[in-house]
Structure 1
């Protein structure tokens, strides 16, 4: 069975479409667990309407207020009991094959593993991008400098990985970043080169907006206000390292230490470190070196 974890907050404009797309999945062996973070609109009325229609929909009504999407998803993660788990944003639309395609890719994995797909950017009227995620990642070296995790609502992971990560570090910047770091550190992270959902972009995105158009991505790349290393993700990676360093291989410890020391290095030392440890953004090392010319480090 797959536990679908849906964190909600004031999503009545979009959540019905998402619920309908979940009900339309070709894989029927799922349970939808919903936790609301204090909505003041009609989100809960819509959820309860569909809860009455389908017994696979469960509302976790525990009066806990999480005050952020990340904390809400991590709270839900503690309630997941199935062999596989996937996060679900309230405002996206899943294609009917999404769960099945992801499950087929991971169901033979015995050790800790996660798999993710891509998504179409969507503004509520038309598709704005064929791929939201531009960088593939499968290791610490090509993940640490991305300042993000795999898009949470595209990420399916197994019980072996969940059990390793339920004892949380002191600081987690986002739920998807945390699971991504766990997968590339302790298991396998697989990518399916298919866009299997509509990732809705609007002014009230709970988990944040991302640049999807080519113009926006170029503008963000050359914006000096965006450093090479985002401070919050740096602190989250540091917290992750301190929590789990005894479980890392010696090579992984070296990679983490090189990353954590990176902001203090000279320009030449930074270039040398990128080459020595094969640090990349996805599969591209040159993007990081180019960023050194234009941006502050952190």
Structure 2
């Protein structure tokens, strides 16, 4: 009801809210990126400079600068998290499930396998010289315990059976799974085919909040080892931006701004045999306090 009144008022006043909102979106995303970019090393800068985020997904062209800024910003966060948490040895094999551009495998400077169900994404990855497999990730074409470390970035929310997927990953993964999902306050389940203009595999199904995600993990052989929240949109540039973010947060939607998630949740999971189970709850509680 409030959203309808606000929309009607701005229309009567002749205010182009779409233009104003996306200008705020772009400058805040750019500022967050600039802060992150100023602190990264030369190797990461080289990776980013070689990447064209407009073609990030392989099967869709990104037209908004704000989205490019967000993607690059979140890429920096994921590369940093990988380097902090993926303890790889010379012969360890890695795989990126749902990979679209190969940048995370390249950041490890090791042999790796990109997996995607999208034909355009697979062709794009092949064009970049990546070893690529086209597959439904709920049925991975790998032998048991054949992959040391697996990345699952912004993919879990797209699958209809998240526990089945995590069990399948645990079959082929011998050590570490690094995951990212949208950061949401409340778990959300989307209706089937809510956007008929996009392929089904691009739709979100489950968006888990942290507590529900960790509850899901208890049904799998994985245990939480470390976690972090990555921010890509922060509306604190000016008093005006703060006010807009505040009203959007309380009137439109809490977790997103102009359709973009403001934060993402990153975590490292390891096979339960790799950790003392008696310390699991203690570690989880400490991690929760650290990210709040």
TM-score under structure 2 normalisation?
Answer: 0.27
TM-score calculated relative to the size of structure 1: 0.26
Give the helix-richer structure, 1 or 2.
2
Higher relative contact order (CA 8 A, sep 6+): 1
